Chains A and B, each alone.
Chain A
Amino acid sequence: MDWGSIFEGAIRAAFDLDAVVFAIAAIGLNIHFGYTGLLNFGQVGFMAAGAYGVGIATTYFGWNPWVALVVGILAAVVLALILGLPTLRLRADYLAIVTIATSEILRLSFRSVSLREFSGGSNGINGFANAFYAWSPFDPQVQYGIRIPGIDLSIKFFGNRAWILLIGWIVVVALLIFVRLAVSSPWGRVLKAIREDEDAVRALGKNAYWFKVQSLIVGGVIGAIGGMVLSIGTQTVQPDVYSTSLTFFVWTALILGGVGRTWSPVIGAMIFWVLLSFTEGVLRQGVENNYLPDWLIDGVQVGQVRFIMVGLGLCALLIFRPQGIFGDRNEMALEDR
């Protein structure tokens, strides 16, 4: 087995596009769930709002990319208002139901035939990201990488990918600073208090409803930014990418890292993709080198089996470390008496 290439693949996955996108989306979800206790099972809907907002604004309306970014963010704000205003007065589970349903409605609408001129139907929107790459200082034909002295790794990305990754990770850092500042402020204190007990917050004269709406908007906009990075990075918006399973993978990344910690969604997203890449690498090489018999698993099944293995690993994590990798077990144990 070529362990070198397996490890290289895994480290590469920690920094590649999927990890950035998951990190951003999970940062948003962390605001919802980690700090406010909102059950948003439709984070992918916000990602789609961002991605389609940019895509439709640039292709259908032909607006300039900066305006398109603003459109993507506004789309997420509107979506948050539509989802939040009616449901956030009700019990927490209503938001969960409505968000999961709405994200599916969005996907099905975007891929529908009648909206094809808008959103491109099942083909999605393509070739809208050129303007973003026009700003790239990197040569698309050249591979770029970071050399760590003393270690022989060849983790390199072509110019365009290097550009979106650079932007993406800068966005991640900026968002982390934003979250840090926000949750350590009195605003963040109200969110955390709502997570603990909404009625206590209301009894103290805070409009808990409005704070929840704000939280949904802020986390949703961050999710939309994740969707924008994904669509620009892949240079396409495909409706079926924005399916419910993406929401749950983002949740997985968040819980893996540990909820309610500033950094943990990022680490969770990186670990999630490292694990997937690593198990895939091991399985694939095992099949190719006939360490694993064909009757057990063949090359086509590797993609699915790795999810099974990661799933089992997550179950183990939840049993042995329910607070996530960076969560505080003592804090988890503080329940109402």
Chain B
Amino acid sequence: MMSDRATASLDGLAEQPGVPKPDPILTVSNVSRSFGGLKAVDVEHLEIQRGMITALIGPNGAGKTTFFNLMTGFDQADTGERVFNGERLSRRAGSAPARRAVASAGVVTVALLGGLVVGGAVGQGNVRLGQILGFVVGLTLLFFGNRMLLTSPPGPRSNAFLDGRAARPLYGIAGLATGLVVSEIAVWATHLDGRWSTLLPFFGTVSSGILGFALGSYVQGPYSPHELAQHGMVRTFQLTKSLTKLPVIQNMALGAKGQVGERLSRGLIHPLWTDQEASIEERADELLKRFKLDHMRNEFAGTLSGGQRKLLEMARALMTDPTLVMLDEPMAGVNPALTQSLLEHIQGLRDDGLTVVFVEHDMDVVSEISDWVVVMAEGRIIAEGPPVAIGRNQQVIDAYLGSDHESNLVRTVDGTGTRDAPTREAPTGDVTTSDDTTGKGSDGASNSDGGV
């Protein structure tokens, strides 16, 4: 029912690449990434519907992993925009704190340099007095400037100064000016003379300028993976990353957000975090049970089998309380019995209200659990639509035929060809499973009942 309702919201959408969705959690535009001459990813527009399972398929080398890397900050796109949960998350500069910081840097610069000139004149040649005056004026302006910017709403597109694309030069200049004034004041206050009275301002100005430049680069730069993860976008890797020399339970606990004890000063005082740790472990134990890993709780993760590691990585990702889970080939190298339970887990995530994007080659699997399928080939999105339709899509068949002769093409064509009836049945199967898990399913069921 859950999936019925979910797919229902996508019913009637045009089956064409880049089609807008009613409630996208992730929207990307004009994302491209080249490795040398090879354009690994070139996505014009893609929207991922909230609360659904979207499958990303495509032949090997289509750019799926690279696309995941770009989305999660592990790689930087050459061009492109990313909007997640209504927030523009392509560059740090777009964020409110960064905009404030950039504006502050601009204000300080203007104030300092202005202060140097004006103060020099007002102070009747007393340059140092002028500098100090300028500094005070700058700090005052900075304070009020920040207040003003805090209250003005951020627009979708603002100018280079406000959205931070000018951060690097601005911070650099602000750093230079601040360094100059501060070290001049230091020289004056300490009555330095001789060699150091020129060397100190020199080094002070240069190092402060470099610092400003570095800070500006940071503000102007792209988001890091950990920042995106903190926003609720979590991923797993095609090659499983289990922390082999940590016990399974520690692997899990690592994923929890907002841990007091992760600050060294607090971590040293164990009573400050042991309560939180206990509740984290409780949550971890629940998840481990769900993923049938509870018997391995205290073993090193390195002792798990390949399939168990996939499960652990997924469970660990869930510890971060994500809203969007991106799974890169979660089923690869997992035995059929485990595959079935992995599929159930993925559906369980959707039923819990999470959004799932996963990469998979097996068309049977894809049509069994996904609500929407996006097909990539040679970096582009060549088709998207509900699984049934994708199986019939001639372009998709060609893509698999054209580049990847042995593995999936026959099954893809076959599977979808002969699976016309079974796929219709799949939702019915879904209904029974979600009815079985009454606790999770009831919410969705009652909702869709109301809807129907």
Q: In the complex the two chains form, is B268's CB within 8 Å of A185's CB?
A: yes
Q: In the complex the two chains form, is A205's CB within 8 Å of B229's CB?
A: yes
Chain A residues with CB under 8 Å of B202's CB are none
Q: In the complex the two chains form, is A204's CB within 8 Å of B254's CB?
A: yes
Q: Give a binary string over A70-91; 1 marks a CB under 8 Å from any B CB, 0 the rest.
A: 0000000000000001000000
> Is A178 engaged at the interface, CB distance under 8 Å to the other chain?
yes
Q: In the complex the two chains form, is B267's CB within 8 Å of A188's CB?
A: yes
Give Cα A195–Cα B269 distance, bound, in whole angstroms. Answer: 23
Q: In the complex the two chains form, is A331's CB within 8 Å of B245's CB?
A: yes
Q: In the complex the two chains form, is B230's CB within 8 Å of A205's CB?
A: yes
Give Cα A153–Cα B230 distance, bound, in whole angstroms. Answer: 61
Q: Give a binary string over A187-220; 1 marks a CB under 8 Å from any B CB, 0 the rest.
A: 1111011011101111111111100001000100
> Is A319 engaged at the interface, CB distance under 8 Å to the other chain?
no
Q: In the complex the two chains form, is B261's CB within 8 Å of A187's CB?
A: yes
| CB-CB nearest in chain B for A195 | B245
> Is B222 engaged at the interface, CB distance under 8 Å to the other chain?
no
Give Cα A151–Cα B84 distance, bound, in whole angstroms. Answer: 73
Within 8 A of B (CB), among A296-337: 331, 334-337
Other-chain contact of B250, A189, A195, A197, A218 (Cβ < 8 Å)? A189
Give Cα A181–Cα B264 distance, bound, in whole angstroms. Answer: 10
| CB-CB nearest in chain A for B214 | A85
Q: In the complex the two chains form, is A206's CB within 8 Å of B262's CB?
A: yes
Other-chain contact of A186, B253, B313, B319 (Cβ < 8 Å)? B253
Give Cα A190–Cα B260 distance, bound, in whole angstroms. Answer: 12
Q: In the complex the two chains form, is B244's CB within 8 Å of A334's CB?
A: yes
| CB-CB nearest in chain A for B69 | A199
Give Cα A58–Cα B19 distance, bound, in whole angstroms. Answer: 71
Chain B residues with CB under 8 Å of A184's CB are 270
Chain B residues with CB under 8 Å of A334's CB are 244-245, 300, 302-303
Chain A residues with CB under 8 Å of B270's CB are 181, 184-185
**Shortest CB distance B221–A (Å):** 11
Other-chain contact of A189, B253, B268, B320 (Cβ < 8 Å)? B253
> Is B80 engaged at the interface, CB distance under 8 Å to the other chain?
no
Q: In the complex the two chains form, is A205's CB within 8 Å of B246's CB?
A: no
Chain A interface, DSSP helix/strand/loop, else mixed: helix
Give Cα A201–Cα B214 distance, bound, in whole angstroms. Answer: 24
Q: In the complex the two chains form, is B226's CB within 8 Å of A208's CB?
A: yes
Chain B residues with CB under 8 Å of A192's CB are 243, 245-246, 250
Q: In the complex the two chains form, is A203's CB within 8 Å of B72's CB?
A: yes
> Is A101 engaged at the interface, CB distance under 8 Å to the other chain?
no
Chain B residues with CB under 8 Å of A209's CB are 224
Q: In the complex the two chains form, is B224's CB within 8 Å of A185's CB?
A: no
Q: In the complex the two chains form, is A200's CB within 8 Å of B226's CB?
A: no
Q: In the complex the two chains form, is A205's CB within 8 Å of B268's CB?
A: no
Q: In the complex the two chains form, is B244's CB within 8 Å of A186's CB?
A: no
**Shortest CB distance B354–A (Å):** 16
> Is A170 engaged at the interface, CB distance under 8 Å to the other chain?
no
Known: A187-B261, A204-B229, A207-B226. A335 touches B241 (CB 8 A): no
| CB-CB nearest in chain A for B321 | A205
Chain A residues with CB under 8 Å of B266's CB are 185
Q: In the complex the two chains form, is A186's CB within 8 Å of B317's CB?
A: no
Chain B residues with CB under 8 Å of A200's CB are 237, 241-243, 313
Known: A204-B317, A205-B257. A187 touches B263 (CB 8 A): yes
> Is B259 engaged at the interface, CB distance under 8 Å to the other chain?
yes
**Shortest CB distance A193–B (Å):** 5
| CB-CB nearest in chain A for B306 | A337
**Shortest CB distance A39–B (Å):** 17
Q: Give a binary string over B255-286; 1 marks a CB under 8 Å from any A CB, 0 the rest.
A: 10101111110111110010001000000000
| CB-CB nearest in chain A for B244 | A334
Known: A182-B268, A337-B306. A190 touches B245 (CB 8 A): no
Give Cα A181–Cα B273 distance, bound, in whole angstroms. Answer: 12
B interface residues, how many (CB within 8 angstroms) = 46
| CB-CB nearest in chain A for B228 | A205
Known: A186-B259, A186-B273. A202 touches B250 (CB 8 A): no
Q: In the complex the two chains form, is A196's CB within 8 Å of B226's CB?
A: no
**Shortest CB distance A147–B (Å):** 37
Q: Give a binary string over B334-349; 1 marks a CB under 8 Å from any A CB, 0 the rest.
A: 0000000000000000
Other-chain contact of B262, A178, A186, A196, A336 (Cβ < 8 Å)? A186
Known: A181-B270, A182-B267, A186-B253. A203 touches B245 (CB 8 A): no
Chain A residues with CB under 8 Å of B225's CB are 199, 202-203
Among A181, A186, A199, the one with the most B-chain Cβ atoms within 10 Å of its Cβ is A186
Q: In the complex the two chains form, is B229's CB within 8 Å of A202's CB?
A: yes
Chain A residues with CB under 8 Å of B262's CB are 185-187, 190, 206
Chain B residues with CB under 8 Å of A189's CB are 246, 250, 253-254
Within 8 A of A (CB), among B296-321: 300, 302-303, 306, 313, 316-317, 319-320
Other-chain contact of B241, A181, A197, A205 (Cβ < 8 Å)? A197
Other-chain contact of B245, A182, A187, A196, A214 (Cβ < 8 Å)? A196
**Shortest CB distance A320–B (Å):** 22
Q: In the complex the two chains form, is A203's CB within 8 Å of B229's CB?
A: yes
**Shortest CB distance B209–A (Å):** 16
Known: A181-B270, A187-B261, A199-B237. A204 touches B255 (CB 8 A): yes
Chain A residues with CB under 8 Å of B302's CB are 334-337
Q: In the complex the two chains form, is B226's CB within 8 Å of A331's CB?
A: no
Chain B residues with CB under 8 Å of A208's CB are 226
Give Cα A182–Cα B269 distance, bound, in whole angstroms. Answer: 9
Give Cα A201–Cα B262 distance, bound, in whole angstroms. Answer: 13
Chain B residues with CB under 8 Å of A190's CB are 254, 262
Q: In the complex the two chains form, is A193's CB within 8 Å of B243's CB?
A: yes
**Shortest CB distance A258–B (Å):** 13
> Is B235 engaged at the interface, CB distance under 8 Å to the other chain?
yes
Q: In the complex the two chains form, is A199's CB within 8 Å of B306's CB?
A: no
Q: In the complex the two chains form, is A203's CB within 8 Å of B317's CB?
A: yes
Give Cα A335–Cα B300 distance, bound, in whole angstroms. Answer: 11
Give Cα A304–Cα B254 distance, bound, in whole angstroms. Answer: 48
Other-chain contact of A196, B72, B236, B244, B261 (Cβ < 8 Å)? B244
Q: In the complex the two chains form, is B277's CB within 8 Å of A202's CB?
A: no
Among B72, B262, B263, the one with the most A-chain Cβ atoms within 10 Å of its Cβ is B262
Give Cα A292–Cα B183 distance, bound, in whole angstroms. Answer: 66
Q: In the complex the two chains form, is A335's CB within 8 Å of B244's CB?
A: yes
Q: Please name 6 further chain A to chain B contacts, defined as beta carbons within 8 Å, in addition to the given A186-B261, A187-B262, sorted by A numbering.
A: A181-B268, A185-B267, A185-B268, A192-B246, A200-B237, A334-B300
Sample of 5 A–B contacts (CB below 8 Å): A185-B270, A186-B260, A187-B264, A187-B267, A203-B226
Sort A-B residue pairs by CB-CB distance and give the 8 closest, nearest first.
A334-B302, A185-B267, A205-B229, A186-B261, A187-B267, A200-B241, A196-B243, A202-B225
